[in-house]
Amino acid sequence: MSEEKKEPKKLIIALSIGIPLAVAALFGIKIPGYDMSFLPPIYATINGITAILLLGALVAIKSGNTNVHRKLMFVCMVCSLLFLLLYITYHITSASTSFGGEGAIQYVYYFILISHIVLSIVVIPLVLFTFVKGFYGNYTAHKKWAKWAFPIWLYVAISGVAVYWMISPYYV
């Protein structure tokens, strides 16, 4: 691989560690005076759009349409970045919402929430390495990484919508 096409491994590792740490640290910061209560349904919708686009990208690549696949994956990356920015904006300006359900639904909610959080951390390097491998034309490695990244990213996108749907009645 030539120097100008060298994959940014160190940057991906730094982002994979830095993003979750920054998000966790930002939960301790509250900026008063802003009403961002309109954001959760927007970023939940972005998660839903991401899931649909991921499925579209899968159909495109299975049909041999690499150009559509590439464009859809780029839009998925933009959606994920936009989600992250809106999610952080909401959480640094708003108090956390507690789930108010009781009984079995509470266990379902926390299972989905915890798996969503853990996998949203795991998926960062998987998605970034997969994207970069495809971007630089290393399609054999891209396909190997995508076998792991795709289902986890799809789960994170869908479970994000489920978490929002389940907690939305409890927003103040």
3 state SS of 28: coil
The amino acid at residue 59 is: V
Check pLDDT > 90 for residue 90.
yes
Which pLDDT score, from 0 to 100, does residue 3 have? 43
Q: Average pLDDT, stretch 31-58?
A: 96
Q: Average pLDDT, stretch 55-83?
A: 98
Which pLDDT score, from 0 to 100, does residue 27 have? 84
Best CA proximity match to 125, nearest among 46, 4, 8, 3: 8
> What tens digit of pLDDT does each residue of 23-42 get?
999 888 999 999 999 999 99
Within 13 A of 83's CA, how many CA atoms are on the CB side?
22
Check pLDDT > 90 for residue 169.
yes
The amino acid at residue 76 is: C
Task: For CA atoms 116, 20, 88, 154, give the dihedral sign.
Answer: negative
Percent of the chain with pLDDT over 70: 97
> By CB neighbour count within 10 A (0-12 exposed, 13-18 middle, 19+ buried), where does 83 fall?
buried
Which pLDDT score, from 0 to 100, does residue 96 have? 86
Domain boundaries, the chain: 11-26+34-170
Return the residue matching tokens 């495109």: 60
Which pLDDT score, from 0 to 100, does residue 2 have? 43
Q: Enter the CATH code of domain 11-26+34-170.
A: 1.20.120
> What tens digit of pLDDT does each residue of 93-148 get?
998 889 999 999 999 999 999 999 999 999 999 999 999 999 999 999 999 999 99
Compute the distance between CA of residue 117 and CA of residue 124 in angstroms, rounded to an integer: 11
Size (the chain), residues: 172
pLDDT band at 1 (very low <50, low <70, confident <90, very high): very low
Check pLDDT > 70 for residue 65.
yes
